[in-house]
Amino acid sequence: MAKKIIPKKTPMREQPAKERTRNYDEVPYGYSEQEAIQEATRCLQCKRPTCIQGCPVEIDIPGFIDFIAKGDFRSAIMRLKEKNVLPAVCGRVCPQEDQCEKVCVLTKKFEPVAIGRLERFAADWEAQHGEAPAPKMPRPTGKKVAIIGAGPGGLTVAGDLLKEGHAVTIFEALHKPGGVLVYGIPEFRLPKAIVYREVDYLVACGAMLVLDFVVGKTATIDQLLGEYDAVYIGTGAGLPWFMNIPGEQLNGVYSANEYLTRSNLMKAYLFPEYDTPIVRGKRVAVIGGGNVAMDCARTGLRLGADEVHGD
């Protein structure tokens, strides 16, 4: 008998729109165990899973979803971590709709399996029920790698190198790890505690983390190469692009980088507990229409704007 398929994804509960625009709490609540099992049973367990081909890190997607469908959530997160050291992050901000979900076989007739939501569920379940044991690492190769930047690129490379048996040290210029995950993406979309938990997992696996270390100032690349066998540079895109138009240097005009960093990493949203200087306009204009622009628009509302207009 052919499997009866639920046509649409299992909905994810979230804060009502009128409430969430005035707080920095995470918007979606995530799946309950029952909701996760219901969604996982939509997976066809394809013999040739195209979803894996659509995943940049080649997670065994049918494998971890099958564990969820069976209620074996511990095995689900362990299967995820075989390939991905940032499941709680990727389950929230990875563009699954353009990657693994886009090529899900179900899209031929129905909505795809909610792969990202299930990944988030497995990671959040682990956070609530205790960490799965760190995987057994291979015998050390004796090779040492320096990673510059504790953003998503550097953290991912660190996890992959640890699995190969290499010693890893991550150097971060700021006082907190996470890169754009903490200074760029707002709290209501990706809570910082989740990022720090993922970093703690990497440290538990053997990575060394050095903060407040500015490569090029504290030490040069040549100096690092004198101590390490290789250096990975993952400094990200920390500088803004300006349009070179009149007025863009006036007070109250911010680049997205500065605006989000002041709000996120410098905690301007916690005024007056943190008195970080930031303009709180009542009518806010955002130039741009991508993910960063939307983060700025939603941040403007949460900082007290009556109107936010995008272009």
CA distances from 222 to 29, 230, 232, 296 (A): 47, 11, 13, 38
pLDDT tens-place string over residues 181-220: 999 999 999 999 999 999 999 999 999 999 999 999 999 9
Distance CA 254, CA 30 (A): 33
What per-residue confidence (pLDDT) applies to 1? 53
pLDDT average per 10 residues of sequence, the chain (311 residues): 81 94 93 98 95 96 98 96 95 95 96 98 95 83 97 96 96 95 94 95 95 96 97 89 91 93 86 86 93 94 92 78
Torsion of CA 117, 298, 255, 172, to 10 degrees: -40
DSSP per residue, 230-299: EEEE-----SPP----TTTTSTT---HHHHHHHHHTS-GGGTTTS-------SEEEE---SHHHHHHHHH
- Vertex 259, ends 300 and 308: CA angle to 5°? 25
Q: Which residues contact 245 (CB under 8 A, 6 or more apart)?
A: none
Distance CA 186, CA 24 (A): 8
pTM attached to this predicted model: 0.92
At residue 77, what are phi and psi to the nearest 5 degrees? Answer: -70, -35
Distance CA 121, CA 90 (A): 11
* Dihedral-angle region of residue 115 (phi above 0 means left; psi in -120 to 50 means alpha; beta otherwise): alpha
Tell me whether strands 167-171 and 144-148 are parallel, antiparallel or unpaired.
Answer: parallel
> Strand ranges (DSSP E) for the chain?
144-148, 167-171, 208-210, 230-233, 283-286, 307-310
Q: Which residues contact 34 (CB under 8 A, 6 or more apart)?
A: none
What per-residue confidence (pLDDT) applies to 41? 97
Distance CA 127, CA 157 (A): 23
Domains identified in the chain and CATH numbers: 17-129 (1.10.1060.10), 144-233 (3.50.50.60), 256-310 (no CATH)
